[in-house]
């Protein structure tokens, strides 16, 4: 046990109960692994003491509880809503590894580790234009929430840049079936909603002859698994996959992380775990660069930092947006997620048209 003056006090506010609890718990595993085995700290620090606070159902109360521990480092929660609630209820520097909403770039005391949701369907559009340069007609179907609007606006902006005509169709929560039934035919379908809503809409929409279809939930293993063979050919965004992990210049490599995480968690690390672990590495790097555990100094260090962890490149623009890390585009082929974009890390050629 290190003396208190030699210890970095870190606090993690994240869901440990409620619908996002599973995502929150993997972040706990990852930051505990970082604290125990991968935190490269400047003198006089010799260790990390991590406390964890449940952001559900009241993120503001959880932040207040976390601040009573007088943390040097404050790590935010999984989920855009909880992450925004934390940012609104403290002026302390927050290391954001779980909230993809672009609104967080408006908070100067938030360090954004992950790529924003507005980039989720950009890779799919770039891939489709590369494969089929003729102008296509597309539909962006999204739930009318902050997350859905972020994804839809990013897709629409990319489509305009790439010369793809798209129509945006928003729908209220809990009306997925009705929304799917009213979607007009087009060449390309891009969907952004909660996983349950995406599953409902996929069952209705995938019987149509879309040349390409992308769902946010198709980027991960579990959300659309009930579709079975109907999932074949779907595109989706993935924040991280071990097969595309770069050689890092900060922290351990992906092979070390996967092995160490499996030892403590009993299974491979999902992307929220990797994001949390990378946040720990980056916070420690900024501690070393700043030379002190002061929020303003750490913020300046983060804004000037350009490095690569196992999660990917880290670089912030002048407005605090993460512009270094890039979302992968995967496609379901023969029952497996395979990386198809960007070209430098693609494992296979995308199947196009989908059917």
pLDDT digit string, tens, across residues 141-187? 999 999 999 999 999 999 999 999 999 999 999 999 999 999 999 99
For 73, list phi and psi in degrees, rounded to 5: -130, 135
Provide the pLDDT for residue 1.
37
Provide the pLDDT for residue 355.
75
Strand 336-341 relative to strand 328-333, pairing: antiparallel
Mean pLDDT, the chain, rounded, equals: 95
If asked whether residues 129 and 222 sit together in one domain, one would say: yes
Checking if the pLDDT of 197 tops 60, the result is yes
User: In the block, which residue shows the tokens 């997620």?
Assistant: 337
- Chain length of the chain: 355
Residue 41: partners with Cβ closer than 8 Å, 6 or more residues away: 8, 47, 48, 284, 287, 288
The answer to whether position 350 is within a domain reads no
CATH number of the structural domain spanning residue 262: 3.40.50.2300
Residue 288: partners with Cβ closer than 8 Å, 6 or more residues away: 40, 41, 42
Provide the pLDDT for residue 94.
98
If asked whether residues 203 and 303 sit together in one domain, one would say: no
Higher pLDDT, 319 or 328: 328
Please report which confidence band the pLDDT of residue 336 belongs to, taking 50, 70 and 90 as the band edges. very high
Measuring CA to CA, how many Å separate 304 from each of 117, 195, 318, 323? 23, 36, 10, 13
If asked whether residues 225 and 81 sit together in one domain, one would say: no
pLDDT digit string, tens, across residues 38-89? 999 999 999 999 999 999 999 999 999 999 999 999 999 999 999 999 999 9
Alpha-carbon span 276 to 46, nearest angstrom: 21
If asked whether residues 197 and 338 sit together in one domain, one would say: yes
Percent of the chain beyond pLDDT 70?
99
Q: Which domain holds residue 255?
A: 4-115+245-314
If asked whether residues 229 and 161 sit together in one domain, one would say: yes
The answer to whether position 141 is within a domain reads yes
If asked whether residues 69 and 214 sit together in one domain, one would say: no
If asked whether residues 78 and 182 sit together in one domain, one would say: no
Number of structural domains found in the chain: 2
If asked whether residues 71 and 24 sit together in one domain, one would say: yes
pLDDT digit string, tens, across residues 208-264? 999 999 999 999 999 999 999 999 999 999 999 999 999 999 999 999 999 999 999
Write down the pTM of the prediction.
0.94
Checking if the pLDDT of 134 tops 80, the result is no
């Amino acid at each position: 046990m290190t003396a208190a003056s030699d210890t970095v006090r870190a606090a993690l506010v994240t869901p440990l109960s409620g619908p996002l609890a599973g995502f929150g718990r993997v972040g706990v595993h990852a930051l505990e692994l970082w604290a125990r085995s991968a935190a490269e700290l400047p003198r006089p620090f010799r260790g990390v003491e991590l406390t964890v606070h449940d952001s559900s159902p009241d993120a503001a109360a959880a932040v207040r509880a976390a601040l009573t521990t007088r943390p040097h480092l404050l790590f935010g929660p999984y989920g855009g809503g909880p992450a925004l609630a934390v940012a609104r209820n403290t002026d302390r520097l927050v290391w954001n590894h779980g909230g993809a909403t672009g609104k967080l770039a408006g908070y100067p005391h938030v360090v954004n580790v992950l790529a924003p949701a507005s980039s989720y369907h950009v890779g799919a559009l770039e891939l489709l234009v590369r494969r089929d340069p003729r102008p296509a007609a597309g539909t962006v179907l999204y739930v009318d929430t902050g997350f859905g609007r972020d994804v839809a606006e990013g897709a629409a902006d990319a489509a305009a840049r790439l010369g793809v005509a798209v129509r945006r169709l928003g729908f209220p929560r809990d009306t997925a079936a009705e929304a799917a039934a009213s979607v007009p035919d087009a060449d390309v379908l891009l969907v952004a909603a909660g996983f349950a809503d995406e599953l409902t809409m996929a069952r209705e929409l995938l019987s149509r002859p879309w040349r390409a279809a992308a769902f946010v939930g198709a980027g991960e293993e579990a959300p659309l698994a009930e579709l079975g063979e109907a999932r074949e050919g779907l595109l989706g965004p993935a924040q991280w996959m071990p097969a595309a992990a770069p050689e890092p210049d900060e922290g351990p490599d992906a092979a070390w992380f996967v092995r160490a995480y499996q030892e403590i968690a009993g299974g491979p690390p999902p992307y929220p775990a990797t994001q949390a672990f990378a946040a720990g590495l980056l916070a420690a790097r900024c501690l070393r660069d700043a030379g002190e555990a002061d929020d303003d100094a750490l913020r300046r260090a983060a804004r000037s930092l350009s490095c690569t962890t196992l999660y990917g490149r880290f670089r912030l623009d002048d407005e605090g947006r993460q512009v270094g890390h890039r979302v992968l585009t995967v496609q379901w082929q023969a029952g497996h997620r395979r990386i198809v974009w960007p070209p430098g890390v693609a494992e296979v050629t995308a199947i196009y048209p989908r059917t």
